[in-house]
Structure 1
Amino acid sequence: MDAVTPIPSSRRKGRAATSNQTNRFERLTRIATDDGWDLSEDLPPLRTEVTDEVPRRVITRNSSPDLSFDRSINPYRGCEHGCIYCFARPSHAYLGLSPGLDFETRLIARPEAPDVLRKELMARRYSPKVIAIGTNTDPYQPIEKTREIMRGLLQVLAEFNHPVAIVTKGSLIERDIDILAPMADKGLARVGISITSLDPKVARAMEPRVPGPARKLRTIKLLSEAGIPVRLMVSPVVPALTDHELEAILAAGADAGAVAASSIVLRLPREVAQLFRDWVEETFPDRAARIMGRVRELHGGRDYDPEFGVRMTGQGKWAEILKQRFDLSCRRLGLDRRLPPLRTDLFRVPPAAGEQLDLFGPKDR
């Protein structure tokens, strides 16, 4: 795909994508052009728009061999954090929207998700396993501060004693320590915090509306002090841009209280490849060719290799060296431990309003 005409920087301040490229399902491409009239027609900056969606179901199932969970929940579609490398961007195409700036500015909220989740957990055939939240879009993106959908989901999961694993870049998770700490004490909750770079300028360029690296480290510290196990996620590692920070990020996370670590190399599925190329050429023109060359080296000569087993680790000599560096640092810092599985044996359907309580606690179904 050829480079897309960028939207003026004055309209996309605080955004990562440079364009609103057409999604892969559209046959026609729309391009804004000057109509030739000598009139001042500067368009306003792009603002975040939120539309509500009423879901029939909120638990999504998967059978990917690369993932450690088989079910997840997404409180939101699209993500205001706007990380340029986000592998979830192509999912916006299914809504008829662009994986570019639409993904960052045209969001879908699911305010009834907690009520729908409650119904799904009460189904007679439901069998509990860990629910992952934040594996597609971030549940603690800025609009969660007022919408509180994620908090509602956690309240339901806590009520059912259901295990949950959360991934986030947002410091807003600190608000929900009052729910997560008691769950963690029962072996029902753990959190992954993603740090891509310790350089504030690099982090801001890649993740324009994400809390800075120092703020993320404070979040790890606060969660850890509350007894919530935190996994430091060095994800994604961007070759020739952030890979030299690997050891420093791991050390900072360990100092903040992280008890384990993981790492994923940059992957650029579908529209993300062009979006990332345009961004890196604009933001880091002096090293854009080197970054993209190393990316292709990792993925067998392509921008991305979707093959299971290698898509998250990459392949080749550079990927091997990166893994060796990661393993060595984790052993040295004590981050190579395997966290115990979250408990499913505590799951109970709470009594309905007005239902007589059992003398020995909530009834099994």
Structure 2
Amino acid sequence: MQRPKRAVRGATLNTESSRFNLPAREADGDWLDDRASLDDLPPPLRTTVTVERPRTIITHNNSPDVPFDRSVNAYRGCEHGCIYCFARPTHAFHDLSPGLDFESKLFAKPDAPALLRAELMKPSYRVAPIAMGTNTDPYQPIERIWRITRQCIEVLAETQHPLMITTKSDRVLDDIEMLAAMAVDGLVSVMVSITSLDPRIAMTVEPRAPSPRRRLIAVEKLAAAGVPVQVSIAPVIPAITDGEMEHILEAAANAGARRASFIPVRLPFEVAPLFRAWLDEHFPDRAGKVMSMIQSIRGGRDNDPGFGTRMRGSGPWYDLMLTRFRIGCTRHGLNGERVKLRTDLFRPSEGAQMRLF
């Protein structure tokens, strides 16, 4: 069996968007474009960050597929470069490619903490858990510099607002003291995504995300600090990572995770051709098998976009995954209790007007 190649970036190309008439990326003729023919090296791809100034920061949804109705995203695009990322198509709204642009041309929202505070102060606001990490990772590498995620958490901690975090990064430990303090009052839970325990597989599927070992250490430290932790095996890629499900569940339980979940790989919009090109590059020996199994799970298509079914699947392959997952959770004592975050402690910032009571 051919071993996967080490990936420097996730996507292997910069596709145009078929929905927004995004022009195809072409070589501009400078010496960097000839680098491959001169010394067998691709042109260097540098990460850039552009400041984005949104008017609001809380995004609302009414999806039956997720356990929250609002979220905050401090960044647009993600340097982790996960090839399967369902958020890739959002870059097309900026006339950028869901491919390499998504993981190298990033946007930061430094006004997010102030916007969040202002929205929480509105008389019409009704408290419910806010999710972070639903579109792109709040702890991707640029968080070390920008610290926007941390500043947003500071606002939520100050106002005693419930928070749900999803991340693939052990950088969440940078904020462990604040999260531990919120956990004492039942205000926070963290979900750590672990797709594979094999370092070679992980660095191919998620080239710039921290290693599986570092993520498990993060689970262990968060659990030891009293923060409720869940491990998400998301996504499960048939014929590449699906054989690791039981091992990931065991490792998660041993690290102190209370709950676990899984989602079969989703390939919405422009993600499907990017994923196919990635398969041809890194797993040519089984590319056809992988896509055949995905289509079996997704009703004969590359993706099922339907509300109520898109996060799950159907057919014998999905049924087998689900059975294995349930047996693994039972064996390792996972999912025995639900974490319910408190909403009764919420106190919005006073601003210029002092509270009467």
**TM-score normalised by the chain length of structure 2:** 0.93
Do the aligned partners of residues 252 and 29 (structure 1) sit closer, same or farther apart at CA in structure 2, a change above 3 Å counting? same
**How much identity, in percent, do the aligned residues show?**
52
1:217, distance to aligned residue in structure 2 (A):
0.4
State the partner residue of 1:249: 248
* Residues 215-249 of structure 1: CA deviation (Å, up to 9, x unaligned): 11000001111100000101100001111100000
1:341, distance to aligned residue in structure 2 (A):
1.3
Which of 9, 12, 16 is equivalent to 1:15?
A: 9
Give distance in 1, aligned partners of 2:303 and 2:237. 13
Equivalent position SS for 1:72: strand
- The AA in structure 1 aligned to 2:228 is P
State the partner residue of 2:100: 101
- The AA in structure 2 aligned to 1:25 is R
Native 8 Å contact 1:24 1:93 kept in 2: no
State the partner residue of 1:281: 280
Equivalent position SS for 1:301: coil
Aligned pair 1:301/2:300, yes or no? Answer: yes
State the partner residue of 1:203: 202
Give distance in 2, aligned partners of 1:75 and 1:86. 17
State the partner residue of 1:6: none
1:353, distance to aligned residue in structure 2 (A):
6.4
- 5 Å matches for 1:172-183? 172-183=171-182
1:131, distance to aligned residue in structure 2 (A):
0.3
- The AA in structure 1 aligned to 2:251 is A
RMSD: 2.1
Give distance in 2, aligned partners of 1:205 and 1:153. 31
* Residues 270-299 of structure 1: CA deviation (Å, up to 9, x unaligned): 000000000011101111111111011111
Equivalent position SS for 1:325: helix
Do the aligned partners of residues 108 and 117 (structure 1) sit closer, same or farther apart at CA in structure 2, a change above 3 Å counting? same
How many residues are aligned here? 347
Give distance in 2, aligned partners of 1:118 and 1:38. 48
Aligned pair 1:140/2:139, yes or no? Answer: yes
Do the aligned partners of residues 153 and 286 (structure 1) sit closer, same or farther apart at CA in structure 2, a change above 3 Å counting? same
State the partner residue of 1:229: 228
1:352, distance to aligned residue in structure 2 (A):
3.7
Give distance in 2, aligned partners of 1:304 and 1:263. 16
- The AA in structure 2 aligned to 1:16 is G
Give distance in 1, aligned partners of 2:244 and 2:285. 19
Equivalent position SS for 1:214: helix
Equivalent position SS for 2:176: helix
Native 8 Å contact 2:33 2:43 kept in 1: no
Native 8 Å contact 2:32 2:43 kept in 1: no
1:41, distance to aligned residue in structure 2 (A):
3.8
State the partner residue of 1:5: none
Native 8 Å contact 1:299 1:315 kept in 2: yes
Give distance in 2, aligned partners of 1:28 and 1:353. 46
Do the aligned partners of residues 126 and 201 (structure 1) sit closer, same or farther apart at CA in structure 2, a change above 3 Å counting? same
Give distance in 1, aligned partners of 2:128 and 2:28. 55
Equivalent position SS for 2:324: helix
- The AA in structure 2 aligned to 1:346 is L
Do the aligned partners of residues 363 and 140 (structure 1) sit closer, same or farther apart at CA in structure 2, a change above 3 Å counting? farther
State the partner residue of 1:218: 217
Native 8 Å contact 1:348 1:363 kept in 2: no
State the partner residue of 2:38: none
1:339, distance to aligned residue in structure 2 (A):
1.8
State the partner residue of 1:118: 117
Q: Which runs of 5+ in 1 are unaligned?
A: 1-8, 356-361
Give distance in 2, aligned partners of 1:181 and 1:208. 29
Native 8 Å contact 1:349 1:363 kept in 2: no
- The AA in structure 1 aligned to 2:169 is G
